[in-house]
Amino acid sequence: MQTRALGRSGLDVSAIGLGCMGLSHGYGHPVSKEEGIALIRGAVERGVTFFDTAEFYGPFTNEELVGEALAPVRDRVVIATKFGFRITEGNVPRGMDSRPAHIREVADASLKRLQTDVIDLFYQHRVDPDVPIEDVAGTVGELIREGKVRHFGLSEANAETIRRAHAVQPVAALQSEYSMWWREPETSVFPTLDELGIGFVPFSPLGRGFLTGAIDANTKFEADDFRNNFPRFAPEALAANQALVDLIGGIAARKNVTRAQVALAWVLAQRPWIVPIPGTTKLHRLEENIAAAQVQLTAEDLREIETALSQVEVQGARYPEQMQRLVNR
């Protein structure tokens, strides 16, 4: 597995990481602990060194799973987790909370669940409008000086917020959604990341599964799969967006690779400081995703893709209105 540097932070990781959320949260019934541990350790065996989790996933159970799975190889991997939500009794998320005292509480609890003495990358999960970002950055900076955290990250933050945070405590990475069907970060934050030397970690680089070709207008999700509530996954939007999947399929067939591999290779080709974190629950999909790091898209391929993408108007908002209010602050 090739490695990449997340900006100028000194944090080097595998070119493709593993988003662990879907093992416990969001996409229907969680996998068993045994299945989750096997998949995560299988990723390590295949060269993945970058693993993404959060207290919110579960809540809490995903961190516990990741911690147990990676404990035997802790010195070989980079673990990213997140703070920023208030999770009440009964493990129910109730809004944002990035108050300094709460950040410290989350850090200590996450360290225990992850079975480690340091968090490699600690993201603010979503920007809290009630807490100045300078206070957030300063608190994580204190945790870094205390040895509990190595690097500070933000998620779904806008350029102004990134700059304000970076002025207090250098931001190692921004994590936001990015793929062939959500390219907004290219104009909103890429110039800032490039200027400041901040890495970018795209989640959902496969469009929550849609870009693989495995989902169409007739797909039925499990009742607790959050895609049921996303406008972009309404049947009419899926049907309209099929043109994008067909485009990827044509390129994949010509290069004798899969749609997923083309979609990931495209993300990797956009900047050298981008490290996508596709998630999966299946070992063969993990292997497919990892192999995308070896797919070479030529300048001609990229021009062809760019031309074709410019002719496809993606339908449907990526989030319901309430969730959309939590991004790009």
What are the tens digits of pLDDT across the range 215-270? Answer: 999 999 999 999 999 999 999 999 999 999 999 999 999 999 999 999 999 999 99
pLDDT tens per residue, range 266-302: 999 999 999 999 999 999 999 999 999 999 999 999 9
| % of the chain exceeding 90 in pLDDT | 93
Mean pLDDT, to the nearest integer, of 187-196?
A: 98
Q: Report the distance separating Cα 131 and Cα 52, nearest Å.
A: 24
Q: Look at residues 22, 140, 32, 11 and name the one whose alpha carbon lies nearest to residue 79.
A: 11
* Three state DSSP letters for 131-199: CCHHHHHHHHHHHHHCCCEEEEEEECCCHHHHHHHHHHCCEEEEEEECECCECCHHHHCHHHHHHHCEE
**Residue 328: pLDDT above 90?**
no
**pLDDT for 61:** 97
Q: What topology does CATH give the domain 3-206+271-295? A: TIM Barrel (3.20.20)
Q: Is residue 157 scored above 80 in pLDDT?
A: yes
Contact indicator for 281, 31 with CB cutoff of 8 Å? yes
Q: Label each residue of 276-288 as H, E or C.
A: CCCCCCCHHHHHH
Quick one: CA torsion of 187, 183, 225, 322, rounded to 10 degrees?
30
Q: What is the pLDDT of residue 322?
A: 83
CA end-to-end distance (rounded Å), the chain = 35
Which residues belong to the active site?
A: 57
Question: Residue 271 in 3-state DSSP?
Answer: coil
Alpha carbon distances (Å) from 5 to 15, 169, 201, 255:
9, 19, 11, 28
